[in-house]
Structure 1
Amino acid sequence: MNDHTFIAARGALVVSPQTLMDDPHGQFATLRGDHPVLQLGERQFMALRASDVMVILSDPRTKPLEGRDYVRIQGVPEGAAARFLRDFFLFGSGAEHRAKRGMFARSFAHGAVRAAQPQIQAVARRIVAELPRGESFDFIDRMAARVPAEMIAAILGLPQSETSYFAPRVYAMSRAVSPVYPIDDHAEIETAVSELFRYVVDHMRIRSEQPRDDLLSRLVADWKDDPVITFSTLVHQVLGIIVGGTDTTRAAFAVLVSLLLQHPEQWTALRDDPSLIPGAVSEGLRYDPSVGSIVRFTNAPVEISGVELPAGVMLRISNMSAMRDPELYAEPDRFDIRRNDHPRLHPVFGAGAHRCIGEMLARIEMQEGLAALVAGAPAMELQTAPQLQGFGGLRQITPMQVIIR
């Protein structure tokens, strides 16, 4: 059977998700011109063109996908993972979403993150100083994973010594946010969510009895004063912040460094001119994003470049495709840290009320991490490039071997 069977009734192209796994950028480039929308499964669609993607995010006929709809459409079995997906503010809207997200807004605001920049810089420099010299090592394990994990631990008030406990469980848990729920991995995902839930509960109960000067203590104190949500819902919000603050930046930073090492003239340019670092971060986020798509839900029929979608379906907005679309970027398949055609708001972080709450933190972590590397390990060489796997949701990354001469 041809995986690219055309359904004339809806105008979308039916594509087996598996055909997009090996070379999603190439597949999107081939399909995008003639097929603005793909159908990935029952009631699941994906928009590819930049011109459509930018409009859909603010189209009132679509809304953020509610957790209950995500669980139902994806067929997530009942349990800890399903409860988390139904509860986390990422999968919510309206007043409930604002209330849950608002608990963290102050800690991730521009001013608060800027104030933490010296701490992020110190963490990055310490990690670079600890990297092995003259021997091959996994860059993701030894640096890319450590900076965001240690910073999210510091913000929440979790012991940095425990990042090695929660990080692997975060990486397993993040697989739940994929274009097609990985049912074969469900047992591992379920275990990871359950263990992380108990881990956060233990720390929050300690803060209830012995408050400290950290975000977890403030969250618990505020909740005790005004428990407008259940305690388990509060725990789920903290879980989501840990996942979002740990996994996406880990993958994005590793890919950025890999791309720079594959373009040695641009790595050298950064060493000579650190003012290029913010542009390099933006370009890495564009060229191969760790978040491949943003999920919406149609609450009314909607037309996308001539394709008619009914109400009540899941619509993925493909960042990956849009950020390689020549409608939005000149020479989109060229990695260029000096690129000057980035939109004012980077598409990878979404839009509106659901724009990524950790955008500023992620940018500064990557900028300070890169600055520490080019200054402290300028002779780093890439031995095995990592690969971002998947074409939507939170993408998974393979190991990355490097050596510092």
Structure 2
Amino acid sequence: MPQNWAQNYTYAAPRIVTANSVDDVRAALAEPGPVHALGTRHSFTDVPDTPGTLIDVTGLEGPAVIDAEAGTARVTAGTRYAVVAEQLHHSGFALHNMGSLPHINVGGATQTATHGSGDARGVLSTAVRSLRYVDASGELREVSRGDADFPALVVGVGAFGVIVDLDLEIEPDYLVRQDVYHGLTWDALLANVDAVTGAGDSVSLFSRWDEAPGPLWVKRRVAGAEVAAADAILDAVRSPENVSPLGMGDNITELGTAGPWYLRLPHFRADSEPSRGDEIQSEYFVDRAHAAAALAAVREIADGFREHLIVTEVRTAAADELWLSPAYQRDSVIIHFTWENRDAEVRAALVDIEAALAPFDARPHWGKLHLFDRERLEAVVPRLADARAVYERIDPEGRFVNAHLVVRVGLRTPR
């Protein structure tokens, strides 16, 4: 049976079809029964699964159509970020940010509010200017910034249709240098989280919640290859060895030198297998105003889950106006957990982690394992009911309804 990328979930759908064109999507939707879009399978739960037909959109690939005057690139939904980014770079353009894995497809990543890092950088979905999707009746629809449904659909978790292409906002090409810093202490971090997360355009703290927080991976836009890096950030010192904090060898992007943005912003190289696989991931967004308190709260309970943890990564995202974005209307610190593939133990750990983060109204990432139900989500996602109403209007027969969207997170109404 087909599994997700991390091999922690097996899809139950009895049928998977690959769509290579809009007509293929329409043909799949012409068959009766529930449907759902499937991308590069980087979700860690049953969020894209269905009791009917999965429409694999990774066949919807093609070159980006760049409109330099409008500052956009039209991208097919199944195209991986690595492919889009390389084409943009060779045309003199760039995206505002990228996720840690460039292997993910644009449609799935934006639908789940996948992100990179940066105090001033929104989640990847904030680059979307417009999108086109096929609805349950097979009609091709378009929604753009300024349209009433736009903030509900850009991060829509596949609850309303099958995205076929998107217009992404682009900007002039730029260089990025990345460096690693060691020696940060908890006292220094918790006293001035902003000094750490603001030390570069994209900053990641990697931690196992030990005596020290862990290394910093700092990525900065630079004007030229000769621009040097700061020697210290608070009490953390730049490493001259340029060794990745992830310790994964040849699949890590190059450190200690300036290079094209698309070869530096992701953690992993596009021409290598990403990360390690055979893992589970969880992630929570907290208002950056509560960053120190939230980190301290998780640190208090870390002895209870550390043996199942591979690593935590702490990143940030700027506030946005997309209804289901976990960064909706609040600058956020993002606390990510990569776990060993031990489902029962991870779920037990999440009970304590979610309780520790509850005072800070933490919001989960839609594509990663969490224990939130509809009631808890409605308490922290202010526009969830509004988004659900939009999806019900667009898909009144519930073709895109599945157990995750209904039973677990309340994005659709039960049938």
Q: TM-score, normalised by structure 2?
A: 0.23
Higher helix fraction (1 or 2): 1
Higher strand fraction (1 or 2): 2
Q: TM-score, normalised by structure 1?
A: 0.24
Work out which structure has the larger RCO, using CA pairs closer than 8 Å and 6 or more positions apart in sequence. Answer: 1
